Amino acid sequence: LFSNISSDPPIEVFHLTELFNQDADPSKVNLGIGVYQDENGKTSTLPIIRSVEQQMANDLILTKNYLKATGLDIFCTAGLKLLLGEQSSAIKEKRACSIQSLSGTGALRIGLDFLYRNDYRIGYVSEPTWGNHQSILQTVGFEVRKYRYWNQEKLTLDIDGLINDLESAPEKSIIILHACSHNPTGCDPTHEQWMRISDTCKSRQLVPFFDIAYQGFSSGDLDMDAWSIRYFVHDAKHELFIAQSFAKNFSLYNERIGHLVGVFKSCDIVSKFRTQMTTIIRRNYSNPPVHGAYIVATILNNPILYEEWKTNVRAMYERIHSMRQLFYSKLKQLNISGTWEHIIQQTGMFAYTGLNSRQCQLLIQKHHVYIMSDGRINVCAITLNNVDELVEKFYDVITN
Ligand code: PMP
């Protein structure tokens, strides 16, 4: 029955990690996968998570009973506040609805499922973007189009290209936007540029769909990193969707914890939306797991734990930031023609180096440095111990 099935191509970032794991060279470095690493190259569980888990293990009230399809309420309300702010008018007016999801990927999927079943058919992604955006849109059934984002020559945001492409988008197109720490370019619009994007979405009747997987990693400040979303919701009064991941800022990668938020013009839409989401989730996985949701809710709802977690996020941000500065200063010392300024102008976990695919292949094959073929690197994989050797290897592939 199945002897003729075809194989799918490997997913680049996972394939890279497999090759890295198989490599016995002691100098190997994995600059590929977007996972936070400390100065020893470890992705540790945050101590605050461990202590909440210990408390959970002793809590006899916690059961293994099913959650509702839409998830744990104390998690959803806390997540919504983190995103839209304590004073959000959309929350007060009950126009915002939060649905627990299987991390950021799951939020995108169920949100796009909702839009497709309500007759939305065209989805726009930035060029370039995180590869899964296009794949999920296509799998749901959307026609995928791209808006210009990155100017490869100037190594900056192509804001005029972006606006032109949105201006020619058909009404009711879904526009996937990275709220902060754009993946892969690390290049985010300024506040003024966000305002232009917002105006264009409004005048063309486009539907913004924010993806926020790195809140806190762009500026070290959770509120600041949600600025674009809050502007669109409160100032420009858009109806929109948000897919939020807690994988990175809580280091809860394998707990698959995130949420989908819908913000609508009136509260009666929220109740209808919730019924549709219940149907969508019921048919996909029935209801979500509680573990990650309970951890996040416990931390966000307790002022002392919340402060501690904010300090953890700030520390992760600072490490990324300092490694970015260090990498830049070492590259600069090499006197290679061109500029490396873009590395320090970018924010978040990634740097978009500008290396071409041949140079990236060479880094992997000759130097045991695992890097995505578009030149994106995870800045956290740089450490005080490996930076000099890394930079020498970059020099070799650029100059040979
Ligand atoms: N969006 C972007 C832009 C991402 O980079 C990621 C993680 N790589 C995600 C969403 C989703 O991640 P997760 O499903 O692990 O939350």
Query: What pLDDT sits at residue 336?
Result: 79
**Tell me, what's the ipTM?**
0.99
Ligand 1 center–CA 123 separation, angstroms:
18
Structure tokens at 182: 């754009």
Contact 137, 124 (CB under 8 A): no
Residue 338 has pLDDT above 80, yes or no: no
Q: Is 176 in the pocket of ligand 1 (CB under 6 A)?
A: no
Query: What pLDDT sits at residue 183?
Result: 97
Confidence of residue 2 (pLDDT cuts 50, 70, 90): very high
Ligand 1 center–CA 357 separation, angstroms:
23
Is 63 part of any domain? no
Confidence of residue 113 (pLDDT cuts 50, 70, 90): very high
Same domain, yes or no: 248 and 324: no
Is 6 part of any domain? no
pLDDT, tens only, 215-266:
999 999 999 999 999 999 999 999 999 999 999 999 999 999 999 999 999 9
> Annotated catalytic sites, by residue?
130, 211, 248
Q: What is the mean pLDDT of the chain?
A: 96
Rounded Cα–Cα distance for residues 184 and 123 (Å): 19
- What is the reported pTM? 0.97
Question: E-strand spans in the chain?
Answer: 29-30, 96-102, 122-127, 143-148, 150-151, 156-157, 174-178, 207-212, 240-245, 257-263, 350-352, 369-370, 376-378
Of 301, 332, 354, at which residue does a domain stop? Answer: 301
CATH of the domain at 337: 3.90.1150.10
Confidence of residue 60 (pLDDT cuts 50, 70, 90): confident
**What's the mean pLDDT in 286-303?**
98
Query: What pLDDT sits at residue 215?
Result: 98
Structure tokens at 340: 């490396």
Residue 370 sits in which domain range?
A: 12-44+307-399
Whose CA is closest to atom 2 on ligand 1?
Answer: 213
Same domain, yes or no: 134 and 27: no
Same domain, yes or no: 153 and 17: no
Query: What pLDDT sits at residue 45?
Result: 96
Q: Which residue has the tokens 């461990």?
A: 50
pLDDT, tens only, 98-108:
999 999 999 99
Confidence of residue 388 (pLDDT cuts 50, 70, 90): very high
**What's the mean pLDDT in 15-29?**
95
Long-range contacts of 149-158 (CB under 8 A, 24+ apart): 149/182, 149/185, 149/187, 150/126, 150/185, 150/187, 150/352, 152/354, 155/339, 155/341, 155/342, 155/352, 155/354, 156/187, 156/342, 156/345, 157/185, 157/187, 157/188, 157/189, 157/193
Same domain, yes or no: 144 and 103: yes
CATH of the domain at 149: 3.40.640.10
Mutate to test the pocket of ligand 1, among 13, 125, 183 (most ligand atoms within 8 A of CB): 183
Of 281, 301, 321, at which residue does a domain stop? Answer: 301
Of 301, 330, 357, at which residue does a domain stop? Answer: 301
Query: What pLDDT sits at residue 335?
Result: 82
**For the chain, what is the domain count?**
2
Q: Closest Cα to residue 66, out of 360, 285, 329?
A: 285
Ligand 1 center–CA 132 separation, angstroms:
8
Ligand 1 atom index nearest CA of 246: 16
Same domain, yes or no: 156 and 287: yes
